[in-house]
């Protein structure tokens, strides 16, 4: 079975249809790759592409898209609501099938090197590819944005991982890295007291002592008048969905509150949910790759 | 997205390697089809092929395999432990993706007609394709086996669905039909009393008043000295796995017995387990086809 990798590059252009069309054409022109989705936001002036492909194809399409963006997007003229530092702002690689997180790190480094060698754009490696803990977090890497990057690159701790300490004049700086697939998972509570959802979010999220691979906040669903624990599961193998679900359930009980439902937003790998079924059905010795029919079809 | 259909033809040859190789070559020679697996049993003198393909490919490969079998397997000389009535004994079509059970019934009928038109083999439609309730069950259709078929076809109620009331002299009779994917699902109990497993199997299986799409028996796992409810879930949408699991759990409690684990044997469609996760996580409005990443890759 082929290795399958997902790539979700973010470009700093969400308004100029000609440039967006050019990116789509570029994506479709690479063999071994499928463009699953692309969406553009005019307020953010930003486009997000979702691609999947084999090991060679995904590297080639990532490079070609960064190249096209560097030739058609001028960051000195860019305005938009979303933080950004480059024509191609960020390029994550995500392991989907028959490939490890470590192999995706290697892929991200190969693409980073090629982008810098051939296009002279400085690169920060982030997330699982980060060279220091401080660079794991994209928000920290991007802080200062395009306008602040010339100065930031001169700071001791912010030499790029590839390239010299100066931005590409129009394409800025790009972050490239590997990360696990993200599952957006929300749990709804039968209470209109948002403080309960906030307290529980604090318990389950890694940053405040909860599960390492869970990010979470408490918020109100105003239209339904209920509180919600809204989570990003950034590694569903490290922190499975059922574990946060059961924890929210027993923590909510302290307040006499029950779970009334949950939401999985957008795309999820099947395995994130099959793992949940295995837990609840107490399945012994299940081999996901061999026993799930669809894995023999991809 | 393409429609995907599985086909699992059974051939009455499990010893002659040349014929088996010929069937494999035939399967591999059809476009739009993948041979996932094939296994031969010398005691049964029978081979089972697992193929998956698009709408055109799966019909073509089914026909070509039946044709090859009719030219290379002589039922007048066949011996083996498994009941059988034809060179190609049975050809089930199973909906996998973007296709309904009804569409698979149509496919089975097209293949049945072509096999009879071109090869002169009489066909019984069975399972979801059956023309009468008595023909749904393959065991009833096949009763009498190859040797008894000439006489059986002359009985009032056993005219073939396609073809005349006489067998193909060497290829016999073939059953063709559509059915849902089958999931082999066993639940293990912390008791060495097999009568408890037998009582619970009777409760959950459709034939004795339980869930329509569940077949089940109680048996001992001698090596572990525990009792097991062993089930075939013949339509995991009609009777989801979690429903039998929870029923076994609350029925076992009456005897002070608990579930200690379960087993999913062999291949399962991902959806059979994702449905389980949806139930336990109480997921609202999940769209399996759109939200499961892999569905965009197949």
Contact B122, B22 (CB under 8 A): no
**Residue indicated by tokens 């197949």:** B298
Q: Mind giving me the DSSP string for A135-156? A: GT-HHHHHTTHHHHHHHHTTSG
Chain B: residue whose CA lies nearest to A4:
B297
The Cα of B148 is separated from the nearest Cα of chain A by a number of Å equal to 37
Q: Does residue A227 carry a pLDDT above 70?
A: yes
**Residue indicated by tokens 């002592």:** A209
CA neighbor of B218 nearest in space, from B244, B262, B241, B187 = B187
Query: How many of the other CB atoms lie within 10 Å of CB of A234?
Result: 18
Phi and psi angles of residue B93, each rounded to the nearest 5 degrees, phi first: -110, 135
Q: Does residue A37 carry a pLDDT above 90?
A: no
CA neighbor of B201 nearest in space, from B150, B155, B157, B244 = B244
Question: Does residue A231 sit at the B interface (CB-CB below 8 Å)?
Answer: no
CA neighbor of B110 nearest in space, from B174, B159, B176 = B176
Chain B: residue whose CA lies nearest to A259:
B282
pLDDT digits (tens, 9 = 90+) for A109-158: 999 999 999 999 999 999 999 999 999 999 899 999 999 999 999 999 99
Positive or negative CA dihedral for A29, A30, A36, A39? negative
Positions of E strands within chain B? 4-7, 10-11, 33-41, 46-53, 88-97, 123-127, 174-178, 183-189, 214-221, 226-233, 259-265
pLDDT digits (tens, 9 = 90+) for A177-211: 999 999 999 999 999 999 999 999 999 999 999 99
Residue A128 pLDDT: 96
User: What's the rounded mean pLDDT across residues B176-186?
Assistant: 94
Helices (H), B73-120: 101-119
Q: Does residue B208 carry a pLDDT above 80?
A: yes
The Cα of B283 is separated from the nearest Cα of chain A by a number of Å equal to 5
Task: Select the residue of A188, A274, A285 nearest B270 (Cβ to Cβ).
Answer: A274
> In degrees, to the nearest 5, what angle opens at C-alpha A207 toward C-alphas A125 and A248?
130
Bridge-based pairing state of the strands A46-53 and A10-11: antiparallel
Residues 6+ apart with CB under 8 A from B222: none
Task: Select the residue of A36, A283, A292 nearest B263 (Cβ to Cβ).
Answer: A283
Chain A: residue whose CA lies nearest to B285:
A263
Calculate the CA dihedral of residues A188, A190, A196, A200 and round it to 10 degrees.
-40
Chain B: residue whose CA lies nearest to A245:
B281
| β-pair partners for A205 | A211
Residue A289 pLDDT: 87
**Residue B99 is encoded by which pair of tokens?**
């296709």
| Segment holding A227, helix H or strand E | strand A226-233
- How far is B287 from B298, CA to CA, in rounded Å? 17
Residue B98 pLDDT: 85
Residues of chain B with C-beta less than 8 angstroms from the C-beta of A96: 293-294, 297
User: What's the rounded mean pLDDT across residues A233-245?
Assistant: 96
**Of the listed B78, B82, B168, B296, which one is catalytic?**
B82
Give the A window 134-193 contacts with B, CB below 8 Å: 181, 188
Q: Please answer yes or no on whether B268 and A96 come within 8 Å at the CB atom.
A: no
Q: Please answer yes or no on whether A245 and B281 come within 8 Å at the CB atom.
A: yes
CA neighbor of A175 nearest in space, from A158, A188, A192 = A158
Contact A175, A141 (CB under 8 A): yes
pLDDT digits (tens, 9 = 90+) for A257-292: 999 999 998 889 999 999 999 999 999 999 998 899
Residue A143 pLDDT: 96
**Interface probe, candidates B226, B236, B243, B280, chain A, greatest A C-beta count within 10 A:** B280
Helices (H), A153-269: 194-204, 241-253
- Going by pLDDT thresholds of 50, 70 and 90, the confidence category of residue B285 is very high
- How far is B39 from B13, CA to CA, in rounded Å? 11
CA neighbor of A105 nearest in space, from A122, A116, A93 = A93
> In degrees, to the nearest 5, what angle opens at C-alpha B138 toward C-alphas B175 and B233?
120
Residues 6+ apart with CB under 8 A from A215: A205, A206, A207, A231, A232, A234
Residues 6+ apart with CB under 8 A from B22: B68, B72
C-alpha distances out from residue B104 to A87, B12, B272, Å: 49, 24, 19
- Going by pLDDT thresholds of 50, 70 and 90, the confidence category of residue B37 is confident
User: What's the rounded mean pLDDT across residues B256-270?
Assistant: 94
What positions of A carry a catalytic annotation?
Answer: 82
Residue B295 pLDDT: 83
- How far is B297 from B295, CA to CA, in rounded Å? 5
- Going by pLDDT thresholds of 50, 70 and 90, the confidence category of residue B212 is very high
- Going by pLDDT thresholds of 50, 70 and 90, the confidence category of residue B289 is confident
**Residue indicated by tokens 């799930």:** A292
Residue A1 pLDDT: 57
- How far is A244 from A237, CA to CA, in rounded Å? 12
pLDDT digits (tens, 9 = 90+) for A96-117: 888 999 999 999 999 999 999 9
- Going by pLDDT thresholds of 50, 70 and 90, the confidence category of residue A238 is very high
- How far is A23 from A49, CA to CA, in rounded Å? 9
- Going by pLDDT thresholds of 50, 70 and 90, the confidence category of residue B298 is low
- How far is A112 from B284, CA to CA, in rounded Å? 40
Average pLDDT of every residue of chain A: 95
- Going by pLDDT thresholds of 50, 70 and 90, the confidence category of residue A295 is confident
Q: Please answer yes or no on whether B280 and A277 come within 8 Å at the CB atom.
A: yes
Positions of E strands within B137-286? 174-178, 183-189, 214-221, 226-233, 259-265
Give the B window 31-70 contacts with A, CB below 8 Å: 34, 36, 52
- How far is B88 from B68, CA to CA, in rounded Å? 9
Q: Please answer yes or no on whether B267 and A242 come within 8 Å at the CB atom.
A: no
pLDDT digits (tens, 9 = 90+) for A62-109: 999 999 999 999 999 999 888 999 999 999 999 988 899 999 999 999
- How far is B168 from A179, CA to CA, in rounded Å? 60
CA neighbor of A7 nearest in space, from A154, A177, A241, A244 = A177
Bridge-based pairing state of the strands A33-41 and A46-53: antiparallel
């Amino acid at each position: 079975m082929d290795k399958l990798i997902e790539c979700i590059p973010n470009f700093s252009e969400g308004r100029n249809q000609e440039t967006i069309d050019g990116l789509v054409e570029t994506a479709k022109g690479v063999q071994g790759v499928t463009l699953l989705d692309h969406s553009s936001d005019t307020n953010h002036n930003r486009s997000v592409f979702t691609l999947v492909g084999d090991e060679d194809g995904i590297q080639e399409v990532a490079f070609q898209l960064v190249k096209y963006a560097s030739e058609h997007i001028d960051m000195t003229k860019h305005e938009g609501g979303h933080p950004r530092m480059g024509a191609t702002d960020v390029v994550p690689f995500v392991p989907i099938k028959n490939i490890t997180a470590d192999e995706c790190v290697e892929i991200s480094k190969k693409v980073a090197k090629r982008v810098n060698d051939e296009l002279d754009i400085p690169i920060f490696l982030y997330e699982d590819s980060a060279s220091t803990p401080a660079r794991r977090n994209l928000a920290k890497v991007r802080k200062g944005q395009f306008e602040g990057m010339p100065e930031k690159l001169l700071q001791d701790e912010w030499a790029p991982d590839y390239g010299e300490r100066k931005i590409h004049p129009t394409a800025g700086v790009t972050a490239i890295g590997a990360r696990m697939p993200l599952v957006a998972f929300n749990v709804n509570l039968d209470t209109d007291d948002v403080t309960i959802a906030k307290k529980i979010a604090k318990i389950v999220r890694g940053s405040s002592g909860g599960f390492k691979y869970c990010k979470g906040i408490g918020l109100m669903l105003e239209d339904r008048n209920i509180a919600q624990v809204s989570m990003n599961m950034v590694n569903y193998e490290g922190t499975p969905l059922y574990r946060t679900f059961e924890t929210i359930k027993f923590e909510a009980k302290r307040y006499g509150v029950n779970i009334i439902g949950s939401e999985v937003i957008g795309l999820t790998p099947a395995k994130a949910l099959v793992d949940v079924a295995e837990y609840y059905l107490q399945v012994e010795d299940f081999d996901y790759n061999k026993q799930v029919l669809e894995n023999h079809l991809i």
